[in-house]
Chain A
Amino acid sequence: MKALVCVKRVIDYNVKPRVKSDGTGVDLANVKMSINPFDEIAVEEAVRLKEKGVVSEIVAISVGPAKAQETLRTALAMGADRAILVQVNDNVDVEPLAVAKIVKAITDEEQPGLIVTGKQAIDDDSNQVGQMVAALLGCPQGTFANEVTVEGEFVVVKREIDGGIETVKLKLPAVITADLRLNEPRYASLPNIMKAKSKPLATKTPDHYGVDIATRLKMIKVGEPPARAAGIKVADVDALASALKELGVA
């Protein structure tokens, strides 16, 4: 069974984003970019399934600028076999719906049994692509996955939900979106990073897949959230206890 893994190049999770002074977007010039942490977990899961002999080939795909090649090389260094970059111009944001349509088109060509991706990208925080891909393919979805077990024609997914954990059984092919505790991604070893450089990476365009990437949501402006007023420090536990009493909670 083939697995498709979708990865996105995003701002590194350790960087605090800055809004451009004209309010048109977030300043990403000279900012450290990385593979979306949830997508890294998705890649790791696919690689583990390959190591278990469940998955035979892993195709990593990314929709993004030329530099998203680096993100795909990360996935290849972790263990993906080949990659497809669906390239768009720098500074073009492709919305989840359009990404899902591209993934659907690639799925039609590649016929994977599993499509794995992160549950959300930490830049736009949309949490949509996996569910949308599943909808367009008419296949089931195991979102916010905490544990994934392939059993014959099915995949059993433990999902992190608001009240705890839920288990669902899905017919393959299926879409899985990774939550934080699905696994701990490996660090790619130096030899694997070197090897990744010669793995195949095809470059396509949204046009090639017949997908219109014109945005449906117009970004009117971006701004900072209201700042919190400066607080105080109390000297000791007694002062904190009185403060709680004043707040009327103790």
Chain B
Amino acid sequence: MAKVLVWVEHDNMSVKDATLAAITAATQLGEAHLLVAGAGCAGVAEAAAKIAGVSKVHLAEDAVYANALPENVAPLITSLMCDFDAFVAPATSTGKNIAPRVAALLDVMQVSDILSVEGPKTFTRPIYAGNVIATVESSDAKLVITVRGTAFSKAEVTGGVAVIDMVASAHDTGLSSFVGSEIAKSERPELTSAKVIVSGGRALKDPETFQATIFPLADKLGAAIGASRAAVDAGYVPNDYQVGQTGKIVAPEVYIAVGISGAIQHLAGMKDSKTIIAINKDEEAPIFQVADIGLVADLFSAIPALTDKI
């Protein structure tokens, strides 16, 4: 059976959800081993060992891995890959940063953002902003894959009894250093794992109007908040709210698009949502072509009224 090494995305505290979908994809390919690399992340490795279906956890703890700098992490992964047939990472900003670097070092053509495993080396993946689905078969000896989180169920976080193996090597290329980060802390659910998302577009005018209009509705629904590129570019909300081809890919139970036209780049990020609701004053807006429930209305009266009624 193929042996698969899965990149565990974490913040040195807990395993990020996107990893669980990657593990499911990995188990469809073979025996799933996890790599936890970081500093002070033994707790993460313990949690990872309990995930159902995991054979072994490899723990590489060193200060040089603290911020998942690809320059240091990629050589760590390639050094482990002599024992593995495939490397699998979630298609998160970290996974997308690291996996191609690993692939090039292994002389492998990566399969990005897979939607399904069709065979030992055959996968489907979205191209052209998800307007086209390609089925591709790799001819490389080893596989390097990133996994779309919304396309696979999440592995159970309990039930596993994997052993934890320490990896001794520390690769410090000295090429890069971490300076800092601005990570917004929010009480709201995370965009990529929320059950309900309320997203706002350019129509929301400015940051204050976006907040005054979208936030109360999201709060009532316990929803995460998303946005179109236009809303992010205009500075209504930070970049990490962007949903779309080049932002976050989401598939909640309910996605509510408010004042968003429905450009293909936006649809690419949300059209696999279970139920799509659109509120737009233009009945011709393309968003209505994918919406299950549409309301043609001015959002500035409709959204406050809706917030009151629920």
Contacts and interface: CB of A to CB of B under 8 A. Distances in A.
A19 interface: yes
A37 to B, nearest CB: 9
Contacts of A129: 100
Nearest to A241: B309
Given A217-B111, A231-B291, A237-B297, A168 B179 contact: yes
B137 interface: yes
Interface residues of A, number: 81
A177 B120 CA distance: 32
A181 B181 contact: no
B129 A122 contact: yes
Given A96-B100, A161-B94, A224-B131, A217 B137 contact: yes
A233 B296 contact: yes
B109 interface: yes
Interface in B105-145: 105, 107-113, 122, 126-140
Given A131-B70, A232-B292, A233-B296, A216 B129 contact: no
A179 B246 contact: yes
A238 B297 CA distance: 12
Interface residues of B, number: 92
B105 A135 contact: yes
Contacts of B173: 138, 140
Nearest to B78: A135
Given A97-B107, A160-B93, A233-B296, A17 B239 contact: no
A16 B264 contact: yes
B109 A217 contact: yes
Contact of B254 (A96, A166, A216, A247): A247
B202 interface: no
Interface stretch (A42-50, A58-66, A108-116, A141-149): A141-149
Interface in A193-236: 215-225, 228-229, 231-234, 236
A131 to B, nearest CB: 4
Contacts of B292: 228-229, 231-232
Contacts of A119: 246
B10 interface: no
B181 A140 contact: no
Contacts of B92: 162
A231 B294 contact: yes
Interface string B68-99: 01110010000000000000000011101111
Interface stretch (B37-45, B47-55, B162-170, B271-279): B271-279
A132 interface: yes
A38 B195 CA distance: 31
A163 B102 CA distance: 23
Given A156-B179, A164-B240, A222 B126 contact: no
B260 to A, nearest CB: 15
B310 interface: yes
Contacts of B245: 122, 125
A92 interface: no
B131 A125 contact: no
B66 interface: no
Nearest to A233: B294
A132 B104 contact: yes
B206 interface: no
A1 interface: no
A234 B139 CA distance: 51
Given A122-B245, A141-B71, A249-B254, A224 B306 contact: no
A120 B126 CA distance: 13
B112 A143 contact: no
**Most chain A CB within a 10 A radius of its CB, from B67, B128, B178, B295:** B128
A176 interface: no
Contact of B109 (A96, A134, A163): A96
Contacts of A170: 175-176
B72 to A, nearest CB: 10
A2 interface: no
Nearest to A232: B293
B178 A164 contact: no
A233 B180 contact: no
A128 B309 contact: no
A233 B278 CA distance: 9
Given A132-B100, A217-B138, 17 more contacts: A95-B109, A97-B103, A141-B71, A165-B239, A167-B181, A168-B69, A168-B178, A170-B175, A220-B122, A228-B276, A233-B294, A236-B297, A240-B277, A240-B279, A240-B295, A249-B195, A249-B254
22 contacts: A125-B113, A131-B70, A131-B97, A156-B179, A160-B240, A162-B240, A164-B182, A168-B178, A170-B175, A171-B175, A181-B232, A217-B136, A218-B139, A220-B136, A222-B133, A222-B134, A228-B290, A232-B293, A233-B294, A236-B295, A247-B275, A249-B196
3 nearest interchain CB pairs? A131-B100, A216-B109, A135-B104
